[in-house]
Chains A and B, each alone.
Chain A
Amino acid sequence: MSTRNTIRLLFLALAVGAALVASIAFGAADLPLGDVVEALRGGGEETTRTIVVDLRLPRGVLALLVGGALALAGAVYQALLRNPLAEPFLLGVSGGAAIGAVTAVVLGWNLIASWSLPLAAFVGALFAIALVLYIASRAGRSLDTRVLLLTGVVIGTFFNAAILLMLSFAPAETFRSAVFWMMGSLAAADWPAVLVLAGYLVPAMIALLLMARPLNLLAMGEETALYLGTRVERVKLAAYVIASLLVAAAVAVSGVIGFVGLVIPHAIRLAWGSDHQLLLPASVLAGGGFLLLADAVARTAAAPTELPVGVITALIGVPLFVVLLVRRAV
């Protein structure tokens, strides 16, 4: 890592840290920044400390984890599929998760135990990954990324049709809660959930960050990657499976939060170039920071009503991205 890139990452990490503290200050009860810092250090009033440490901090950490995982998975998919339009939900993982979640909602499991919904969503996502991989590998001896892309898209479409079919027989209230789940929310954050998720996401993220150089080569083409020492089939399989497992967990806890995984990697590319050694860690930080801010807006803009965070990410992100794109093109 060059000195310049190290400085860029440090700058980004500081900005994300500042955003975390600031996002904790915003909410149904606005807190002065001084009190937030005091509470984080273990002092201050009891109620403030409860709001900060038990409610808003885990939610902020969850936003960082989910946003970072989605942006990282998006960057990896884009390199793997050599397609700038690739995003975490392109290959049917979200469809599988939604099948699981909607099944749980329709059957009322989520009323029995709150963890059954994310678990069902996770199982659905794993099923989708396995199905796509199975079909794609049956279509040829090696993992052809074009076949993978097509398989993922059609499986996702099929799942979506199946969900609509299930929901068309469901009562209105079930329909509404399923749709809200699909629009994404970080409201389920508590420390046990965040810690379980972190224990799963962080190692997977590290595994993907270690693949920066092979992904640089894959972006140049599979033949070039081979000639520069990459075991192409192994790298493609590992990148696909690990990135998909990241998305599976993210979508299971927070629903389908669009846009982060598509646009954050492109924003980093426009600003700092396409070297995955910088792009991947920068996507984790920027994706996490972006979702943190979007969630702060979702919590506060129409308080006490919470807006779906997936709506906010697109509403804020699209104009920002257009500005970046236009400025770069001039």
Chain B
Amino acid sequence: MSETPVFETQELLYTYPSAARPALAGVSLRVDRGALYAVIGPNGSGKSTLLKLLLGALMAESGSVGYSGRPLGDWSRRSLAQEIGVVPQGEEVAFPVTVREMVEMGRYPHLGLLGRPGATDRDAIDEAMTRCDVLEFADRPISSLSGGERQRALIARALAQQPGALVLDEPTVSLDIRHEMEIFELLAHLTSVDGKTVVLVTHHLNLAARYAGRLLLLDEGAPVAEGTPSEVLTRETVERVYRWPVVVGVHGGPGRDAGTPQIVPLASQDQRSST
């Protein structure tokens, strides 16, 4: 009955060169088609390392990574790039590039070295730019954009790849409420309507709880909990991993995400009164 998972890992172990302890150990996960899967955890808990292993940017010391039922090593870089769109964190352009030029690069995996862009490519670029609402600044250099505009442009490039899966490393960092919500809404739409699979790393536990079907909570490179938001985000687990007192409420709605757990970290006054 079980369908082939999009991403699957078994007991991943990875240690950075000259590091004393592993950055990631014992991580097994399975992400099904059409899922929105969030990886959460404190700073330095191995979230970005896990993404790099999933994408083949790092090679695990032991354990395995598979994409779409085949070991990652069986995929060429180009065919992976036709399948997976990535929004990395902190990309710095070396020379001035316009938004449109950057989104066009999303087509390179389909074009190869010399393929001439055709109607399919232009349509993919236009659609991606429309969906991410970047058309109005298409001809501006990336360096002149605000944080939110830049992030939308990066997502547009990933969508222009027309991938089956999207992997995003903290896509809403430094965005205001509206831009943050727009990106989560877009990701939700991509999974529920377009059937794409999304894996993202985020620090926004409450948004992860509302939008993701499943969460993986990492701490010091090890998996602490995996499952639905209500299973993972309990007061006991969150306080232990983040080392800070919280209360866990329930999102009262309105909206389809009513009932999801919502975390409120306590201020020092509240801590005193609660002890």
Instruction: Report which A residues bind B (CB closer than 8 A).
Output: 1, 78-79, 82-84, 210-211, 213-214, 216-217, 219-221, 223-224, 226-231, 269, 273-275
A231 to B79, CA, bound (A): 12
Given contacts A226-B77, A227-B84, A229-B109, contact A219 B95 (CB under 8 A): yes
Contact assessment for A231 and B77 in the assembled complex, using a CB-CB cutoff below 8 Å: yes
Q: Enumerate chain A residues within 8 angstroms of B91, measured Cβ to Cβ.
A: 220-221, 223-224
Contact assessment for B94 and A217 in the assembled complex, using a CB-CB cutoff below 8 Å: no
Contact assessment for A274 and B97 in the assembled complex, using a CB-CB cutoff below 8 Å: yes
Q: Confirm or deny: B46 has a beta carbon within 8 angstroms of a beta carbon on chain A.
A: no
Q: Confirm or deny: B55 has a beta carbon within 8 angstroms of a beta carbon on chain A.
A: yes
Contact assessment for A220 and B93 in the assembled complex, using a CB-CB cutoff below 8 Å: yes
A-B contacts besides A220-B102, A227-B86, 5 pairs, CB < 8 Å: A219-B93, A220-B91, A223-B57, A223-B88, A274-B96
Q: Confirm or deny: B229 has a beta carbon within 8 angstroms of a beta carbon on chain A.
A: no
Q: What residue in chain A is nearest B97 (Cβ atoms)? A: A274
Contact assessment for A221 and B92 in the assembled complex, using a CB-CB cutoff below 8 Å: yes
Q: Which parts of B31-74 form the interface with A (CB within 8 Å)? A: 55-57
Q: Confirm or deny: B113 has a beta carbon within 8 angstroms of a beta carbon on chain A.
A: yes
Closest 3 CB pairs of A and B: A229-B81, A229-B78, A229-B109
Given contacts A219-B93, A220-B102, A269-B96, contact A227 B113 (CB under 8 A): no
A269 to B94, CA, bound (A): 12
Given contacts A223-B88, A273-B101, contact A229 B94 (CB under 8 A): no
Contact assessment for A227 and B88 in the assembled complex, using a CB-CB cutoff below 8 Å: yes
Q: Enumerate chain A residues within 8 angstroms of B86, measured Cβ to Cβ.
A: 224, 227
Q: Enumerate chain B residues within 8 angstroms of A231, measured Cβ to Cβ.
A: 77
Q: Confirm or deny: B260 has a beta carbon within 8 angstroms of a beta carbon on chain A.
A: no
Q: Enumerate chain B residues within 8 angstroms of A216, measured Cβ to Cβ.
A: 97, 101, 105, 108
Q: CB-CB contacts of B96-129 with A at 8 A, as 1s and 0s? A: 1110011001101101011010000000000000
Q: Enumerate chain B residues within 8 angstroms of A79, measured Cβ to Cβ.
A: 94-95
Q: Enumerate chain A residues within 8 angstroms of B93, measured Cβ to Cβ.
A: 219-221
Contact assessment for A229 and B108 in the assembled complex, using a CB-CB cutoff below 8 Å: yes
Contact assessment for A220 and B81 in the assembled complex, using a CB-CB cutoff below 8 Å: no
A228 to B86, CA, bound (A): 8
Contact assessment for A226 and B98 in the assembled complex, using a CB-CB cutoff below 8 Å: no
Q: Confirm or deny: B80 has a beta carbon within 8 angstroms of a beta carbon on chain A.
A: yes
A273 to B56, CA, bound (A): 32
Instruction: Report which B residues bind A (CB closer than 8 A).
Output: 55-57, 77-82, 84, 86, 88, 91-98, 101-102, 105-106, 108-109, 111, 113-114, 116, 161
A24 to B161, CA, bound (A): 50
A216 to B161, CA, bound (A): 16
Given contacts A213-B113, A221-B92, contact A228 B81 (CB under 8 A): yes
Min Cβ gap A184→B in Å is 27
Q: Enumerate chain B residues within 8 angstroms of A213, measured Cβ to Cβ.
A: 105, 108, 111, 113
Q: What residue in chain A is nearest B89 (Cβ atoms)? A: A223
Contact assessment for A229 and B95 in the assembled complex, using a CB-CB cutoff below 8 Å: no
Q: Enumerate chain A residues within 8 angstroms of B111, measured Cβ to Cβ.
A: 213
Min Cβ gap A328→B in Å is 10
Q: Enumerate chain B residues within 8 angstroms of A83, measured Cβ to Cβ.
A: 94
13 residue pairs bridging A and B, Cβ less than 8 Å apart: A1-B116, A82-B94, A213-B108, A217-B108, A219-B95, A224-B88, A227-B86, A228-B106, A228-B161, A229-B77, A229-B78, A231-B77, A273-B97
Q: What residue in chain B is nearest A83 (Cβ atoms)? A: B94
Min Cβ gap B56→A in Å is 8
Q: Enumerate chain B residues within 8 angstroms of A84, measured Cβ to Cβ.
A: 94-95
A221 to B88, CA, bound (A): 10
- Which one of A1, A210, A213, A227 has the greatest number of beta carbons of chain B within 10 Å? A227
Q: What residue in chain B is nearest A81 (Cβ atoms)? A: B94
Q: What residue in chain A is nearest B81 (Cβ atoms)? A: A229
Contact assessment for A227 and B81 in the assembled complex, using a CB-CB cutoff below 8 Å: yes
Min Cβ gap B6→A in Å is 16
Contact assessment for B97 and A220 in the assembled complex, using a CB-CB cutoff below 8 Å: yes
A223 to B102, CA, bound (A): 15
Q: Which of A1, A82, A217, A229 contacts B82 (CB 8 A)?
A: A229
Q: Enumerate chain B residues within 8 angstroms of A220, measured Cβ to Cβ.
A: 91, 93-94, 97, 102, 105
Q: Enumerate chain B residues within 8 angstroms of A226, measured Cβ to Cβ.
A: 55-57, 77
Q: What residue in chain B is nearest A230 (Cβ atoms)? A: B77
Min Cβ gap A116→B in Å is 39
Q: Enumerate chain B residues within 8 angstroms of A82, measured Cβ to Cβ.
A: 94
Q: Enumerate chain B residues within 8 angstroms of A275, measured Cβ to Cβ.
A: 97, 101
Q: Enumerate chain A residues within 8 angstroms of B97, measured Cβ to Cβ.
A: 216, 219-220, 273-275
Q: Enumerate chain A residues within 8 angstroms of B84, measured Cβ to Cβ.
A: 227
Min Cβ gap A80→B in Å is 10
A224 to B114, CA, bound (A): 20
A192 to B269, CA, bound (A): 87
Q: What residue in chain B is nearest A265 (Cβ atoms)? A: B95
A216 to B109, CA, bound (A): 13
Min Cβ gap B229→A in Å is 28
Contact assessment for A274 and B109 in the assembled complex, using a CB-CB cutoff below 8 Å: no
